[in-house]
């Protein structure tokens, strides 16, 4: 495709892009936007802004807005999700994992199975979410307090006497130290 080779010409002809063939300040040899700059630079900047935005915890207002958006555009959101490539999904998961290490520490395969086995069938989506939020809370507290917080099963999932359930009311966020004290008391019981 033929592009004008300078902005003046692009403006005069109404072209959206032009191509000088000269590297930009960051060394890209790329199209430039008539009403903007090097497209490669613009992409980089968008990505930086986006990443920054994603790292910030969402405000309640933003969460509500996202929920409303989803309610209004369910079909489109679902279609977009289905259209995503496996690589994209895997990359996203990987990144989420990196950003939320505590959430995943709690979910090694053994624990995952133990949790699943102790989760009653009648548990609701809200209750599941409530539990997930406790893991996120532990993670948040760990970050803030500089001391590790964990999610503790008040009645342990595996114990010689009773078996606790993986349900919101059997979970609490405590420091790892408290948790260790507790498992020392229960000595013969596997820690959970």
What are the residues binding Zn ion (CB under 5 A)? Answer: 24, 26, 28, 38, 40-41
Rounded to a whole number of angstroms, the minimum distance from the CB of residue 57 to Zn ion is 32
d(CA 93, CA 73): 23
The residue of the chain with the least Cβ separation from Zn ion equals: 38
DSSP secondary structure letters along 139-158: HHHHHHHSS-EEEEESS-SS
**Shorter beta-carbon distance to Zn ion: residue 34 or 179:** 34
Strands 149-153 and 171-175 come out as antiparallel
Closest CB 139 distance from Zn ion, rounded Å:
37
Instruction: Report the nearest approach of Zn ion to the CB of residue 6 (Å).
Output: 16
Closer residue to Zn ion in complex, CB, 33/111: 33
User: Which CB atom, from 24 or from 155, has the smaller least distance to Zn ion?
Assistant: 24
Q: How far is the CB of 16 from Zn ion (least distance, A)?
A: 17
Q: What is the DSSP letter of 14?
A: T
Nearest residue (CB) to Zn ion, 38 versus 151: 38
User: Which residue, 38 or 173, is less far from Zn ion as judged by CB?
Assistant: 38
Give 172's DSSP letter: E
Least gap, CB of 7 to Zn ion (angstroms): 15
One-character DSSP codes across 15-68: -SEE---S--TT-----EETTSSBHHHHHHHHHHHHHHHHHSPPPHHHHHHHHH
CA pair distance 92, 133, nearest whole angstrom: 20
């Amino acid at each position: 495709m033929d592009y004008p080779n300078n902005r003046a010409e692009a403006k005069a002809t109404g072209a959206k892009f032009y191509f000088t063939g000269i590297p930009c300040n960051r060394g890209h040899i790329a199209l430039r936007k008539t009403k903007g700059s090097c497209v490669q630079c613009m992409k980089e900047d968008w990505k930086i802004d986006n990443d920054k935005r994603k790292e910030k915890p969402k405000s309640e207002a933003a969460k509500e807005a996202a929920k409303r958006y989803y309610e209004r555009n369910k079909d489109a959101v679902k279609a977009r999700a289905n259209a995503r490539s496996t690589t994209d999904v895997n990359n996203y998961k990987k990144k989420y994992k990196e950003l939320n290490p505590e959430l995943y520490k709690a979910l090694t395969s053994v624990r995952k199975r133990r949790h699943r086995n102790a989760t009653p069938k009648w548990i609701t989506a809200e209750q599941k979410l409530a539990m997930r939020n406790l893991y996120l809370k532990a993670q948040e507290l760990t970050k803030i307090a500089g001391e590790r917080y964990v999610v503790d099963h008040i009645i342990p999932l595996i114990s010689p006497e009773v078996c606790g359930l993986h349900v919101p009311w059997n979970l609490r966020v405590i420091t790892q130290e408290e948790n260790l004290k507790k498992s020392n008391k229960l000595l013969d019981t596997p820690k959970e």
